[in-house]
Structure 1
């Protein structure tokens, strides 16, 4: 049986990986990561002690661990860059450029009510188009660096 510390490390690592990949703006928020991981570990333990299956325990803990971390601004920007600008830069330049464009495009997101299911809304296409335009203008003004 795993110890409480091992459970916490498992959830902490899973959350940190997700954040590093899709929410780089939160990668240094260790209090958030630690608190969310502890809540997920406690939820898993409670669900297990209540007789839930391992699968149900995982679903419950994942719900808590990844709450409000499904729609990613960074993933959206990265998707735009990969789909619209991949022919003008090497594959290994795509993610670093997306990280650079994150700050450039941050204000575009302020015009939208973002939620975990935003990518499936009608407004997503408008956001995608607006991000494409913002990135295109930036490239025209600054070039690729």
Structure 2
């Protein structure tokens, strides 16, 4: 039984670590957060199943606990804007640029309520518009050397 709990905790730990790596890279070393959340999610799952809940519902509740407050990601939002609006920025550069921009655009992010429900509110569209304008200005002031796909770089 104890081994099952350890396996459940490890399962949730791996899932949270992968999620943080993808959406919140600044938090990948937040050991206390990862341990606390993965243990709590595993406990909730096991308690829910023991109380007679079906496994799908128990897993859904455990996931909600695991990812609470982490659904919105400044980093991921910036990566998406870069990939959609600036497809010539190489994918390997997008992540490092998004990390830099996340810090640079703190003032913009601070004006919004960035909770898990922001995607369903009108303010999300306003945030995206403001970030897009700031990103455009940033890239005008800090041009990135990018090659167009399928063409060799222009040499003089």
Q: TM-score, normalised by structure 2?
A: 0.84
The Cα RMSD (Å) is 1.6
| Distance (Å, rounded) in 1 between the aligned partners of 2:5 and 2:125 | 44
Residue of structure 1 in register with 2:65 after alignment: 64
Aligned partner of residue 139 in structure 1, secondary structure: helix
In the TM superposition, what is the alpha-carbon distance from 1:143 to its structure 2 partner?
Answer: 2.0
In the TM superposition, what is the alpha-carbon distance from 1:106 to its structure 2 partner?
Answer: 2.3
Stretch moving more, 10-19 or 113-122: 113-122
In the TM superposition, what is the alpha-carbon distance from 1:18 to its structure 2 partner?
Answer: 0.7
1:7-22 alignment, distance < 5 Å: 7-22=8-23
Q: TM-score, normalised by structure 1?
A: 0.90
| Distance (Å, rounded) in 1 between the aligned partners of 2:56 and 2:100 | 39
Q: Deviations over 1:81-103 (max 9, x none)?
A: 1111113x223332332222222
Residue of structure 1 in register with 2:93 after alignment: 93
Number of matched residues? 144
Tell me: CA distance 1:26–1:91, structure 2 relative to 1, closer, same or farther (3 Å): closer
Residue of structure 2 in register with 1:104 after alignment: 104
| Distance (Å, rounded) in 2 between the aligned partners of 1:97 and 1:55 | 38
Runs of 4+ aligned residues of structure 1 deviating over 4 Å after TM superposition are none
More helix by share: 1
Q: Deviations over 1:89-131 (max 9, x none)?
A: 2233323322222222222110011221212211111111111
Residue of structure 1 in register with 2:153 after alignment: none
In the TM superposition, what is the alpha-carbon distance from 1:43 to its structure 2 partner?
Answer: 0.3
Whether contact under 8 Å (1:86, 1:94) holds in the other structure is no
Residue of structure 2 in register with 1:53 after alignment: 54
Structure 1 residue runs without a partner (length 5+): none
Stretch moving more, 29-38 or 75-84: 75-84
Residue of structure 2 in register with 1:134 after alignment: 134
Residue of structure 1 in register with 2:150 after alignment: none
In the TM superposition, what is the alpha-carbon distance from 1:47 to its structure 2 partner?
Answer: 0.6
Structure 2 residue runs without a partner (length 5+): 146-156
